Chains A and B, each alone.
Chain A
Amino acid sequence: MTKHCRTFEHTADVGLEARADTLGELFEAMGEGLADVICPRQSVKKQKTLQIQVESENVESLLVDFLAELLGLFNLEKFLVAGVKVKRIDETSVAAEVTGETYDPARHELGDEIKAVTYHQLKVAREGDEWTGRVILDV
């Protein structure tokens, strides 16, 4: 089981690229990559678990909607993500368990303000034995 996510450079924004053995792990890697941009996960404790469920019309829109849901946890609930575990996934729906804690300015140093998850150069594809994905965040 491998999953990996890295950020890549885009003039004014930040891109996320990930690869994994399964679609579920790809979504986990992307979700955790996004969480690291919001606030590095090593400083976030696994105090609370939330269940999220997202449906969309295809697998690429599903990734955007899934990441937008995670971004919404911070924007609306001030919830910082430490880990993402996909429970069930197909190409149009995903259910995941998200662990983390509420933002505490005294302990958490936030990264860039992410305005949105964009569709620009969006990619989710199966290449040989692995899944790869790419998304650009508007910063």
Chain B
Amino acid sequence: MGKATNIKIEQIDEYRWRIPKDSRPGMRVDGIIYADEKLMSHIRGEQAAEQVANVATLPGIVGASLAMPDIHWGYGFCIGGVAAMDIEAGGVVSPGGVGYDINCGVRLLRSDLDVEQVRPQMKVLIDQLFRDIPCGVGVGGKFKFSDKELRKICLGGAKYLAEIDLADEDDLAATEAGGALSGADPDAVSPVAYRRGRDQCGTLGAGNHFVEVQSIEEIFDARAAEAMGLAVGKICVMIHSGSRGFGYQVCDDAIKSLRKAPEKFGIDLPDRQLVCAPVKSPEGRRYLGAMRSAANYAWANRQLLAHLARKALAHHFKASVESLGLRQVYDVAHNIAKIEMHEVDGKPRKLCVHRKGATRAFGPGNEELPERYRLIGQPVLIPGDMGTASYVLVGTAAAMRETFGSTCHGAGRVMSRKAAIRAAAGRRIDAELADAGIIARARGRSGLAEEQPDAYKDIHNVVDVVVSAGLARKVARLKPMGVIKG
């Protein structure tokens, strides 16, 4: 693990900490970390807070360089960060502020299945999902797309899949941005990215990506839960994946092509991984065009994963997808940059909001939300580690004012992968999970060890902080029953 931070951090209140803008040369705004004392003690032990300060030096940043309680040391930007740049004030877009896995995100399907009905069959059901959903490093999928079709995916995302009957209107309405960002530029995507993307749409990938069968353990907000079709004792399916090799390549290409941009635009960077260009520059526009293409690819990917999961459940229960009530609750991105209007110092400003390991959490009344969520706020899906719990939250008006409508994205790692493997030496993580009633299947050599529950912060703690700080409200807690991983 890295060195402990020596940066100045002041406590604002029980859940907010400030890195004052005079802590480091070049900071344009303060850094603000959302955490309680317990989470803060870990955050101080690594260099994530320095990264929050580094991001505060980027041109056009407004409000503060924000970090959620699941913050951890990343490369360039920390994971769990939110940074909004004023476009008219020379604000920049940075590929490092989005990350390699562009539009990594979470999708939740609800069902009418009861936990008692499903639990005795979990092993067989998980095996079915493990067979039907391609996962693991370098594993190609069941769907192959030509470059021409991939360009349609770049432009149309999950919406394009509706044209070929792999998505319906209900799915699209329950997806951030309707499953496709406008302004994608397929010409800004390299031939190498297209090559990597051909057979990976509809694959889970490896690392922390998963498909999990969960039971609804507790409802905190009956009205919101009803709008989402969630009830205690019912089964949900959560999907966590992103834009696969297609998105990694788009990010890699962009960082390479922007290497000289800081010099060109006179931007002094504390870390080269923060390379960026003004949103309004040709370089900035080109990256945004490519990034939106990859974001749309990711929505198509999760749509296909949902399709495969629904088919697997329908096959297992010998019933139709409709009769199982496998409807989409929501799909939300947590690695993305979007152009949004937010109020800054009392005036509406057009901002480029970077969310890297942070989830959009729009409050009630937002026009992008489907009718059924307009009054309750946007569903926010927060996966925890595979042994503990996941949460469904909703966005709040306070999040709109304070964090550009953003909240945390998960539990956040505390243990490095090597440390997790060491901690798992001589243990059978799958057997430990089975003892706790959770069936886990993983493709990789060290997947379960690296992703073991102890490798993550306490999800209850992380969620309690964002809820106590007013950045989201709890709707439901979901308990893992079975999981497949790459």
Contacts and interface: CB of A to CB of B under 8 A. Distances in A.
A68 B252 contact: yes
B157 interface: no
B207 A113 contact: yes
B229 interface: no
Interface string A90-117: 0000000000000100000111110110
Given A110-B138, A111-B446, A119 B272 contact: yes
Interface in A109-129: 109-113, 115-116, 118-122
A9 B417 CA distance: 7
Interface string B292-325: 0000000000000000000000000000000000
Contacts of A61: 259
Contact of B73 (A7, A11, A113, A138): A11
B264 to A, nearest CB: 13
Given A78-B138, A115-B100, A120 B46 contact: no
B206 A120 contact: no
A92 to B, nearest CB: 13
A72 B207 CA distance: 19
B208 to A, nearest CB: 8
Contact of A115 (B101, B256, B260): B101
The size class of the interface chain B forms with chain A is 35 or more
A111 B273 CA distance: 25
B418 interface: yes
B248 interface: yes
A139 B417 contact: yes
A52 interface: no
B1 A11 contact: yes
A65 B256 CA distance: 9
Given A12-B72, A12-B417, A115-B101, A122 B195 contact: no
B284 interface: no
A136 interface: yes
A105 to B, nearest CB: 9
A75 interface: yes
Contacts of B21: none
Nearest to B256: A65
Nearest to B418: A9
B109 interface: no
Contacts of A118: 75-76, 273
B353 interface: no
Given A7-B418, A57-B259, A112-B207, A75 B245 contact: yes
The size class of the interface chain A forms with chain B is 20 to 34
Contacts of A103: 138
Given A11-B73, A115-B100, A75 B445 contact: no
B320 to A, nearest CB: 34
Contacts of B248: 115-116, 138
Contacts of B348: none
A12 B74 contact: yes
B137 A112 contact: yes
Nearest to A120: B75
A115 B255 CA distance: 13
B428 to A, nearest CB: 18
Given A75-B245, A76-B195, A122 B138 contact: no
B444 interface: yes
Interface in B253-307: 255-256, 259-260, 271-273, 275
Contacts of A119: 75-76, 255, 271-273, 275
Contacts of A12: 72-74, 79, 413, 416-417
A13 B418 CA distance: 9
B329 interface: no
A120 B100 contact: no
A11 B413 contact: yes
B431 interface: no
B75 A138 contact: yes
A89 interface: no
Contacts of B413: 11-12
Nearest to B450: A112
21 contacts: A9-B417, A9-B418, A9-B419, A10-B1, A11-B2, A11-B415, A12-B72, A12-B74, A12-B79, A57-B259, A75-B196, A75-B245, A110-B444, A111-B137, A112-B450, A113-B137, A116-B248, A116-B251, A121-B271, A136-B75, A138-B248
7 closest A-B pairs by CB: A120-B75, A9-B416, A113-B206, A119-B272, A115-B100, A120-B273, A118-B75
Given A12-B417, A113-B138, A115-B101, 5 more contacts: A74-B138, A75-B196, A119-B76, A120-B76, A138-B75
Interface of A: 7, 9-14, 57, 61, 65, 68, 72, 74-76, 78, 103, 109-113, 115-116, 118-122, 136, 138-139
